[in-house]
């Protein structure tokens, strides 16, 4: 279920953890609201902040090390059980939306619909979204919702940290003295501001795509994907309405046979 923590991406994960706790330490060492609350003996705010940072780090490792939904050779048995084995494809009525499952030329497994081979991970991933260099892992069927949750928690931490950094800036009579006394905190605040904007854009884009029941790969490469080539420019065969899309994404954990959804939308039967 989980990757080796010391495998590929170890340096990226280590850098992420070090940066997270270094910035947290800077916020506590300077005269921010966190430090003032701590000195007054009011530990509720500092403890909540540290716990939220810890939760964000744990979610980061969970998403980074989790199996994103690699297509294994025994998935063919599952496909057969669910009625979409390769042998049954000839039973699908031929139409403009009849697509045969194909076999990956690299890892030689039969690719379910919406899966893609990741050249970095060297595996086919079910409901492939993208390969994220930030976590050194693919985002797919099994860890996509956890990735969105991680982004949400991380955004709260970053915005809270940015507010705390702002509360720690001290006044000085000249710019030189101000930079000397606030330089480290200013650097931390700048890093947090850039990360906040990045995470906000990522979270917003993923929530938008989830509400449409499409993936980053499908959105960016629609013209090159065989099962979307025959669809209209504004047609998404997997869209079941915004509320139902969000409900299915966050609340339904069973694997979905996207072939069923695809051909149902096309009024075909399997």
Catalytically annotated residues = 132
| Pair of tokens at residue 204 | 């917003």
Q: How many CA atoms lie within 13 A of 144 on its CB side?
A: 28
Pairing state between β 110-111 and 130-132 = unpaired
Q: Map tokens 């919406």 to a residue.
A: 114
Helix, strand or coil, per DSSP, at residue 86: helix
From residue 162, how far is each of 32, 254, 262 by CA, in Å? 11, 38, 44
Cβ contact 144:7 at 8 Å? no
| Pair of tokens at residue 65 | 């090390």
Cβ contact 154:56 at 8 Å? yes
**Angle between helix 144-167 and 44-65 (nearest 10):** 150
Cα 220 from Cα 224, distance rounded (Å): 9
Find, among 116, 120, 119, the residue nearest to 134 by Cα.
120
């Amino acid at each position: 279920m989980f990757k080796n923590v010391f495998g590929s991406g170890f340096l990226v994960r280590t850098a992420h953890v070090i940066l997270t706790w270094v910035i947290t330490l800077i916020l506590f060492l300077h005269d921010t609201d966190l430090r003032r609350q701590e000195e007054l003996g009011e530990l509720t705010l500092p403890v909540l902040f540290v716990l939220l940072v810890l939760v964000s780090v744990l979610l980061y490792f969970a998403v980074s090390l989790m199996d994103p939904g690699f297509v294994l050779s025994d998935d063919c048995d599952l496909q057969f059980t669910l009625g979409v084995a390769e042998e049954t494809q000839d039973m699908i009525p031929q139409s403009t939306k009849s697509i045969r499952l194909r076999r990956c030329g690299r890892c030689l497994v039969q690719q379910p619909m919406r899966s893609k081979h990741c050249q970095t991970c060297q595996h086919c991933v079910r409901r492939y979204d993208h390969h994220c260099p930030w976590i050194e892992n693919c985002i797919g069927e099994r860890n996509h919702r956890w990735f969105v949750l991680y982004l949400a928690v991380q955004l709260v931490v970053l915005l809270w940290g940015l507010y705390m950094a702002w509360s720690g800036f001290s006044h000085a009579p000249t710019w030189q003295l101000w930079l000397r006394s606030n330089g480290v905190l200013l650097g931390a605040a700048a890093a947090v501001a850039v990360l906040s904007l990045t995470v906000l854009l990522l979270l917003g884009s993923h929530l938008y795509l989830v509400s449409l029941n499409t993936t980053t790969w499908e959105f960016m490469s629609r013209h090159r994907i065989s099962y979307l080539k025959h669809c209209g420019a504004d047609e998404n065969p997997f869209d079941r309405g915004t509320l139902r899309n969000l409900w299915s994404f966050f609340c339904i954990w069973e694997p979905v046979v996207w072939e069923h959804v695809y051909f149902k939308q096309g009024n075909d039967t399997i």
